[in-house]
Amino acid sequence: MSRRTPAFVPRALVAPAALGLAFLVVPLVALVARVQWSTLWQDVTSPAALSALGLSLGTGLVATVLCLLVGVPLALLIARSGARAAAILRAAVTVPLVLPPMVGGIALLFLFGRNGWLGGALDLVGVRLPFTTAAVVLAQAFVALPFLVLALEGALRATGTGYEQAAAALGAGRWTVLRRVTLPLAAPGLVTGTVLCFARAIGEFGATALFAGNAPGVTQTMPLAIYTAFNGAGVSQGTAVALALLLLVTAVLVLVLVRAWRPEAVR
């Protein structure tokens, strides 16, 4: 909308640019337009919606905690490795990010499933993961972990090791350096990564559908409830639209949070 179009952008590109923007924004406006505001509260608080919402938030939080427990050390490792090792590690972390989540779901099933590599051993000790709430958490963590690792790794690499070396030279131990220097410096990246990780976790559909299934109250998270509602089984369509709106609002909030934490966003 600003009229200060940079001179190096040809005028002719404004039309396709506007088309592209409209293509991204108008469908979401159409979604909001379909919301039944009069029954929104009822739809969001219907038992099916509340169970999906509670399950999504709970599993999303646990998945995010799991991602932090293993993702922060992994990001540190990558950021402080040599160039070649870091490139290999980064590629390994990025694969699940560009992989269709459905494929991730199948992979998880073939690892933890009844006939999977680990599934048989787990079965012996009486642990069955697929089609349980734990499977939802694993599916979410699998797709969300790369977001956290890459965001944090980028921040760690950007801050460099100068301050860490100074702290170490002054006698600080490794843990002290990590706690007092490294992580505070990378805090914006850590927060951004955590928020993105959580958002990706609660939006997860494909891997969950294949690895955890679609059992109401056990594995039916919000995206699955929305999908099921549009298949006309179980949840009502009004509920589906309400849940979709909820996810949209969540996404917008995530964006706002991430922006607020960007150092360059400080006004």
Partner 1 sequence: MRRRAALAALLATTAFLAAGCAGSTAPAASTAASDELTGSLTISAAASLGTAFDEIAAAFEAQHPGVDVRPISYDGSSTLANQIIEGAPVDVFASADEKNMAKVVDAGLAADPTLFASNTLVIVVPAGNPAGISSLADLAAPGATVVLCAPEVPCGAASQTLLANAGVTVTPASAEQNVTAVLTKVAEGEADAGLVYATDALGNADVESIVPDGAADVVNRYPIVALTDAPDADAAAAFVAFVAGDEGRAILARLGFGPA
Contacts of partner 1 in 15-54 (CB under 8 A) = 51
CB of 242 to partner 1, least distance (A): 17
236 touching partner 1, by CB under 8 A? no
Binding string, residues 126-165; x marks residues near partner 1 by CB under 8 A? --x-xxxxx--x----------------------------
Quote the Cα angle for 34-35-41, to 5°. 165
Q: Which residues of 45-79 are buried (b: 16+ CB within 10 A; e: fewer)?
A: ebebbebbbebbbebbebbbebbbeebbebbbebb
Q: Which stretch binds partner 1 (CB under 8 A): 1-9, 91-99, 113-121, 192-200?
A: 113-121
> What residues numbered 51-70 form the site for partner 1, per CB under 8 A?
51, 55, 58-59, 61-62, 65-66, 68-69
Shortest CB 229 distance to partner 1, Å: 9
Minimum separation from the CB atom of position 176 to partner 1 (A): 11
* Tokens coding 184: 């505070």
Number of residues that bind partner 1 (CB under 8 A): 37
- Annotate 132-200 with DSSP letters as a single string: SHHHHHHHHHHHHHHHHHHHHHHHHHHH-SHHHHHHHHTT--HHHHIIIIIHHHTHHHHHHHHHHHHHH
